[in-house]
Structure 1
Amino acid sequence: MYNKSKVNYALYLVTDRNILGDKDLCESIEQAIQGGVGLVQLREKNAKTKEFYSIALKVKEVTDKYSIPLIINDRLDIALAIDADGLHIGADDIPVKIARNLLGPDKILGVSTSNIDEAIEAQSQGADYLGVGAIFSTKTKKDAESVSLDELKLIKSSVQIPVVGIGGINELNAKEVMSTGVDGISVISAILGKKDVYSAAKDLYNIIS
């Protein structure tokens, strides 16, 4: 069990096998962790349940090796089945309060939000952190509402739990996002879309450190 109080949200990797090319998922995650990633969210929008379960078990071996928390995107059943460190849900998923009750108090629960009202509500329902965005336009989530840097700053100041900026963040704008006072950035393409995953993660980590 990962200690929730020790989570490092600074560089938060979300997976997407579609942008890996010929790179191996588990190897890429390991290289990203070695480069400075402190939290991994396994996101499998198109995998059937058995496949998702199988992938999650393999990824958990990597994250456990480095004592990095593994968060499962959307799928509470998968998170419970593999004893993941947490779950990340959005507006269309299971209600936050229900997810918290089923996960128990010790697991990490992240919630996607795009305004202050949603952020305060998620916190009151038991969220441990918020993923706020999309800050910039992103190919991996075309339907995401946009959140300005000023709004991000306001959301961060309105809650007591960690806030991570998400959506289109890369080495060119990461510093700008961090200047709002958020606890970290969540990235996909900026690490997994690069040929050298380790270097991409290290460069980003150095930019925001």
Structure 2
Amino acid sequence: MPSHAAFPYLLYLVISEQNCRGRSLLSVAEEAISGGVDIIQLREKTLDDAAFLRQALLLKEITDRYRVPLIINDNLAVAKAVGAFGIHVGNNDIPPSEVRRQWPDGGHIGYSVEYLSQLATAEADAADALGISPVFSTPTKTDTVTEWGLDGLGQIRSLTNKPLIAIGNMHAQNAASVIRAGANSIAVVSAICAADSPHQAAYTLKNAILKAI
């Protein structure tokens, strides 16, 4: 079982306007926090920087109110401008080492792992946590290389002490097995954003995680 002291954010919401089924991103986020979400990543791949910044500032008002950390996906300018808790980047984004260089007094860096060979790189070393993406294939992310599964997640856990954030078709029925396989955190998109009740979906997921630790 992983230690959760270094990354105590068990339920990690990745949110975008597109995934909220026409509802307000801000209201979905607030509902999700009330249900048990511990940390939120704003991922807006289709917005320009100005619109992304406006969205991030509005969301940060909510996350600050509830003392929930805000992660910005792959936009260092926005992360710095809003004083985000951190940033999450993938293989085709700004590398973690470059984030460190440009944001020396900055925050947490998450880095997506798609190959085992990445674990031995300077970029993985520069990151604070590793996103294992996807654990199970998902329609919300189609540009991935490896579907890790529980065995792959367990293998990564044996090779690194970094906190592991598992994403990819996560839901209440598989959350416990993913935590037991070595994840520190369960990241979800549709399971909360597309739920009829984001509050209830988050509550159910959080309880499934808590039963596994």
Residue in 2 that maps onto 1:170: 171
Q: Counterparts of 1:12-31 in structure 2 under 5 Å?
A: 12-31=12-31
Q: Aligned-pair distance for 1:105?
A: 4.7
CA RMSD of aligned residues (A): 1.5
Aligned-pair CA distance for 1:106: 4.6
Secondary structure of the equivalent of 2:99?
helix
Q: Secondary structure at the match of 2:23?
A: coil
Q: Return the offset for 1:64.
A: 0.6
Tell me, yes or no, if structure 1 residue 151 matches structure 2 residue 152.
Answer: yes
- Whether the 8 Å contact between 2:96 and 2:124 is mirrored in structure 1 is no
Query: Does the 8 Å CA contact 2:40/2:71 hold for their aligned counterparts?
Result: yes
* Residue pair 2:90, 2:111 contacting (<8 A) in 1 also: yes
Runs of 5+ consecutive residues of structure 2 not aligned to the other structure: none
Deviation at residue 34 of structure 1 after TM alignment = 1.2
Q: TM-score, normalised by structure 2?
A: 0.91
User: Counterparts of 1:106 and 1:54 in 2: how far apart (Å)?
Assistant: 20
Letter in 2 for 1:36: G
What's the offset of the Cα at 1:95? 1.7
Which string of whole-angstrom CA distances, capped at 9 and with x for unpartnered residues, describes residues 105-151 of structure 1? 55010000023321342332x10101102111111111212112111
Relative to structure 1, the CA distance from residue 127 to residue 170 in structure 2 (aligned partners, 3 Å threshold; closer, same or farther) is same
Partners of 1:106 and 1:98 lie apart in 2 by 12
1:55 & 1:19 partners in 2: Cα distance?
14
- SS of the equivalent of 1:179 reads helix
Displacement of 1:101 in angstroms is 1.9
Letter of the structure 2 residue corresponding to residue 172 of structure 1 = Q
d(CA) in 1 for partners of 2:93, 2:149? 24
**What TM-score does the superposition give when structure 1 sets the normalisation length?**
0.92
CA distance in 2, matches of 1:94, 1:187: 23
Matched, 1:67 2:52: no
Q: How many residues align?
A: 204
| Correspondence for 1:183 | 184
Post-superposition offset of 1:16:
2.4
| Cα 1:14/1:105, change in 2 over 3 Å | same
3-state DSSP of counterpart to 1:40: strand
Q: Distance in 2 between matches of 1:75 and 1:157?
A: 31
Q: Which amino acid aligns with 1:70?
A: L
Q: Determine what percentage of the aligned residue pairs are the same residue.
A: 37
Equivalent residue of 1:144, what SS? coil
Deviation at 1:7, TM superposition (A): 4.5
Q: Is the 8 A contact 2:21 2:193 kept in 1?
A: no
Change (3 A) 1:7 1:34: farther
Secondary structure, in 3 states, of the residue corresponding to 2:72?
strand
For 1:39, the equivalent position in structure 2 comes to 39
